[in-house]
Amino acid sequence: MKKILVVGSLNMDCVIETPHIPRAGETISGRNVVFTPGGKGANQAYAIGKLGGSVKMLGAVGKDSFGQTLKNNLANVGVDVSEISVLEHEPTGQAFISIDDEGENSIIIIPGANGALTPELIGKKEESLKKNIENSDIIVMQLEIPLETVTYVKELAASFQKTIIVDPAPAVTDIPDSFWNGIDYIKPNETELSILTGKPTGTREEIIEGAKSMLHKGVRNVIATMGGKGCLLVNKDSTQFFESRSVKAIDTTAAGDCFTAAFALALAEGKSCQKAIAFGQEASAIAVTRKGAQASIPNRQEITETSC
C-alpha cells in the first residue's frame, strides 16, 4: 500500500446543537454542547488511519490539554504523529460549530497553532520535510493552515512527482492562479467552487463550467461534491457524474473530510479514480448519519457491509 502524508490543521471542536442557525442579531437557545477532536487535516488523517491506511500527520498544536488529546486520538487509529509540532506560545486551534435540526452547520475557526504552521516553522526541519515527502506517495492538504505553507509543500511535493490532493476549504477568493498548477486533484463543494472561481454553481452545468475554469489554472482533476445530489469528476478528457446514496443526514461536519480521506486511501490501494470516488461517497454517506467530526468516521467493515 502506498503511504500518505497529510499536512494540515488540528482543532478541538466545540459543537453546539441548535434548532436552526441563528440569523444576524438573533439569540436562540441551544440544546447541547460537546468538545470533540476535529480540524480538516486531523479529520482526514484520522479517517485514513481508521480505514487501515499508512498515514503520517504534519501539523501543529499548542502545549495544552487540547493538543495532547488531539495527538492521542490520531495515534489511537495508527496515525504517525511524530511530525506534529507542539508550540509553547500558541494555543491549539479551535472550531465553534453550530448544527441545526437538518444536519447543516456553520463554523467559526480560531487558528491558534495552525496559523503558526508557517513555511519558516517547517523550513527549520526542511531535510526532515523532504524526507517525509520523498517517502510518501500521496500528499493531502487543505486551507486551514497558511496558504504560503500549502504552496511551499505543494511545490516540494511536485518536485518529487508525488500525487497531490488539495481540499480547498475554507475557500477564499484571492488565491493566485499559479497555486493550482501541478495539483492532481481538488475536491471543492458547490459553494467552495463558486468562491474559488467567482462563478455561479447553482446548476450542474454551472458547476461543470466552474470546474473547467480550474482546469485552465493547472488542476488536473476537479471532484465537485454536491452533498446528497452526488458529485462530478471533471478533467480534460471527460465529465462524469456519480450519484450518491440517499441517507438521512444528522451532522455534515466531517463529511467532506471523510470523502477526501477515503478517496486518497483508495488511490493508495491502487483503485481507479472512479472507484476511489465511489469509496469516498460510501464513507461520507455513513459519516453524515452520525454526530461529531472524527467520531463520525466509519471503519472499513462498515463501508464494506453498506456497499454490498
As a whole number of angstroms, the distance between CA 219 and CA 221 comes to 6
As a whole number of angstroms, the distance between CA 216 and CA 213 comes to 5
As a whole number of angstroms, the distance between CA 100 and CA 40 comes to 20
Phi-psi region of 230 (alpha: psi -120 to 50; beta: other; left: phi over 0): left
Residue 114 contacts residue 93 (beta carbons within 8 Å): yes
Residue 199 contacts residue 210 (beta carbons within 8 Å): yes
Which of the residues are catalytic?
A: 257
User: In sequence order, which residues have a C-beta less than 8 Å from that of residue 115 and are 6 or more positions away?
Assistant: 90, 93, 145, 146
As a whole number of angstroms, the distance between CA 141 and CA 104 comes to 24
Is residue 295 helix, strand or coil?
A: helix
Q: Grid coordinates in use for 232? A: 462530478
Residue 69 contacts residue 293 (beta carbons within 8 Å): no
What is the DSSP secondary-structure string of 5-64?
Answer: EEE---EEEEEEE-SSPPPTT-----SEEEEEEE-HHHHHHHHHHHTT-EEEEEEEEESS
β-bridge pairing 105-110 and 93-99: antiparallel
